[in-house]
Every structure is written in C-alpha cells, then in structure tokens.
Amino acid sequence: MNLIILGAPGSGKGTQSVKLSKELSFAHISTGDMLREAVKNETDLGKKAREYMQKGQLVPDELVIGLIDQRIKQKDAERGIIFDGFPRNINQAKSLDKILNENNKSVDTVINLETTEDVVIQRLCGRRVCKKCGAIFHIKNMPAKIEGVCDHCQGELYQRADDKEETIKKRLDVYTKENAALMKFYQENKKFISLDANHDADIVYKEILDLVNDYNKNTSRAATSA
C-alpha cells in the first residue's frame, strides 16, 4: 500500500508519518528530511536547495523528483510507502504517478490533514527537532521529558531554520497557492480523504490507522472474491 499524507506546514504530516511507518513497517519518504540532510552534508543538491528552503519557497521540481526516483527503489519501500511532503504541486503529482507506474506501484490512498492557520502557526513556532535522530517535539504540545534533550537518543533539540515567523508565513502562502489544484487532482483521480487534524495527535493517528486498516480489509476482501 502506498499512501500520501498531504497538509499545510505544521499540520502534523511528519509526526503522523513517523509513527505510522513504524507501526506498518512502511518506508517513510519525507522530501523535507532528505533535503535538510543534503543541506547539512553540503552535497551539490543541498547547496542548490538551501536558498529556496531558507526563503520558504519550493525547491525546483527536477531536484526533488530525482530524489524520489532513487528512494522508492530501496528495499524498505517494497512493503509500502508513506509520502510526507511530496508531491507539492501537479507536476510532482504527475511525475510520482509515472515513477510509481514504472516500478509497478501506484498511489492507493491520499490523506489530507486539515488544519486552521492559527493552529499551524502555534505548532511551528514551538516545534523542536532532534539533531541526531530527527524526532519531533513541541515545547507545549509534546514536550521532551528534559528540556532541550531528545527522549529517544539524548540528542540535542533545535529549532528548524525555516520555523521563524516570517518564513512560516511564506511557506503557508506557497502551500495555499499550490494546494487547491493538488487536492482537486487527487479528488478526481485517487482515493482522497480529509481529516480534521486540529485534534490531539493521538486522535488523528487513530483515525489514520483506522482508514489504513479499512483499506487493507477491503482490498483483501476484493482479492478473495475475485
């Protein structure tokens, strides 16, 4: 099963994808994480991507699509994939369909995390991420047991460079500009479900897991009766 999680910056895509990928043993493909890693390691891609990310703009499609093409061929993607932060526009969505098709895969479900702007701004301003393992925390909503220290690996927690109020606003503008067309594309072409993601993270997680389990039950029932 291959799943896309859509949603505004701060809607909880990363938080939900990490938990779900562990539960289902699916590959978690986050273009944001891959790009931040490239920036950190100062690779050619990272050098090209840095400026766009600092400004809250999208990195050019061809750079991001190249990442996906390589990543979905890895062994951990055989059982299933959760796409987090990809695709971001129609061009990326069409490219994803093409790449998956070439690898005998397809998009099975698209889950859209709906949030309000005041909620995502509060979430992004308080987000802290582990430098070592990438675990996501929030100073109020999901605080670490020891301030500034990761619960899982004791790594140092930091604030993402693009989580400054000015850049957050730019990221939300970019999202608003691209998202309506992207949602329309998936509403017309794929199984598209919207969830209210303003709720507590555990409630949202349960709703996503129920959807995935229903999908799997229906698919295996259809396969048995065929």
Nearer to ligand AP5, 108 or 162 (CB): 162
59 touching ligand AP5, by CB under 6 A: yes
Shortest reach from residue 57's CB to ligand AP5, in Å: 6
| Tokens encoding 121 | 């701004």
Shortest reach from residue 135's CB to ligand AP5, in Å: 9
Degrees (nearest 5) of the Cα angle 76, 182, 45? Answer: 55
135 touching ligand AP5, by CB under 6 A: no
Residue 58 to residue 162: CA distance in whole angstroms: 12
Residue 205 to residue 219: CA distance in whole angstroms: 21
- Write down the residue that tokens 């932060």 correspond to: 85
179 touching ligand AP5, by CB under 6 A: no
Residue 50 to residue 26: CA distance in whole angstroms: 28
Stretch that binds ligand AP5, among 80-88, 94-102, 143-151, 209-217 (CB under 6 A): 80-88
One of 10, 77, 80, 150 touching ligand AP5 (CB under 6 A): 10
Shortest reach from residue 152's CB to ligand AP5, in Å: 14
Would you please indicate which residues are annotated as catalytic (active-site) residues? 13, 88, 127, 160, 171
One of 4, 53, 82, 100 touching ligand AP5 (CB under 6 A): 53
80 touching ligand AP5, by CB under 6 A: no
What is the binding site for ligand AP5 (CB under 6 A)? 7, 9-15, 31-32, 35, 52-53, 56-59, 64, 85-86, 88, 92, 123-124, 126-127, 136-138, 141-142, 162, 171, 197, 200-201, 204
